[in-house]
Chains A and B, each alone.
Chain A
Amino acid sequence: MNEVTAERPEAEEDHPKANAIVPPRSVAGTALTLVVAIMSFLACLSAGAVSLVSDAADAWGAQIAREVTIEIASIDPDVDDRILRAAAIARAAPGIGSVTVMSSEDAGELLAPWLGRQADLSDLPIPRLIRVAIADPAQVDLAALSQKLEAEIPGAILDDHRVWTDRLVAMARTTVALGLGILVLVLMATILSVVFATRAAMAGNRDVVHVLDVIGAGDSFIAGEFQRHFLLLGLRGGAIGGLAAMLLFLLFGLFVSVGAGTPEADQILALVGAPEVGLSGYLAALGIVLLIAVLTAATSRMTVRRYLALAAES
């Protein structure tokens, strides 16, 4: 009977699923996952901020670009005549929407925040202004309009707000560069954390590595065994951080839209215009999660290979 039992296909036929060659628990787990999650969160946050500022700057730029101002020095006595002529030239130009001549009182209103309402502006050489709204930016030739105004109306200047727009663009670029800089630093910190964690995992699994080496596993196989753990760890940590950042973006948008009218929300609206992180922000966050997972895996692979190469030389 015993022989029959021995001959039977026994438990090994339903052999349990093979264990990982590098034990998962020996690879720095929770602490590194947390580090990767924090790094991913910070990286996504900076990407979101970059997207927010960049979208806001575009919106500001678009608003300003849809309006230009004609300034006419007010010291000459025939200024009213020149204003009418300038307005006529502007109206005749292609792509122009409305042309509004601003009175001296309107100019005073604009200056009121700085000079106060009681100030007597009649003695000041405040230029007269004509607001020109642009209907179709593609058709407008501002350079030609400016030349024509300067040629036909002495003292007339076309201000296309380029100085202001240039400053906005410069600020937006600085913010984007800053955000990208932070992103690079965060990714570098992630890489370094993974390098240290991989080295620790290799040191903790020295016996496993030695046995694999002796049975001819090859560097690539050994690196692959470690890489698999770190890819999963990077994906998990990256996803936690990325999701937390996306949640924060959503809450931020919700706070501004729900709290509209309150001073805090108005302040945010005044600062960044559109209060929501756009699709580009979410896509960037998703990209960062994947990038961090790939970086984590690739870094661990390279660290293992370097470790093995050094071990072979010693």
Chain B
Amino acid sequence: MAIKTLTIDGQLVSAREEDTILVAAREAGVNIPALCYVDGLTPVGACRLCLVEQQGTNRLQAACATKVQEGMEIVTNSPRLHEYRKMILELLFAERNHICAVCVANNHCELQDMAVRHGMDHVRFEYLYPQLSVDVSHEQFGIDHNRCILCTRCVRACHEIEGAHTWDVSGRGVRARVITDMNQPWGDSDTCTSCGKCVQACPTGAIFRQGSTVAEMERDRSMLQFLVNAREKKQWNV
């Protein structure tokens, strides 16, 4: 296992060769914002919130999907990055119907936390107000497409950890939706094992446990990493 040395926000950091910038930064106490990244799942670089500046190139790098390199100089926070991140958050809010006051995930929502952290006090873009459905055909869980940010955490948790691959993304662009099986009601899905990993993975109030009302939906994100460690490394650090 080779060790790479790099600079993150002026701080010298050593990281394992296979680490990404995001992991190395978190280990050094620098918390790079991210919505699609979650410990235990393969990074996809979809939300773009973790973009960081690298000395010597004008191109921004997605910290969750970029491996560390010897001598890298990374800046994780600058007025430019802050502006971009705020804009991404505003676009996410404008794309669907995120109404925190009546959301099951209020106060436990990563999107909301991210907006607060970046001081997003208003949205510059026109809201799309799409007509979206809520599927509560599953006996325990439900999906509210109004709250979905298409981070694909549920898709990856279901595919990589549970192995059922009930979730996937259909369509493209503004018409993209997460689906279960052949775009059928979740309750009719033959592949779903009702394991609830997607419920733990979801960053917003999109996938929820039925019966939870406003602000009641709390999740245990670390469960995903726990399962991966248990399965791959045979470690049960409870």
Report if A and B associate in a common complex: no
Residues of A bordering B, CB below 8 Å: none
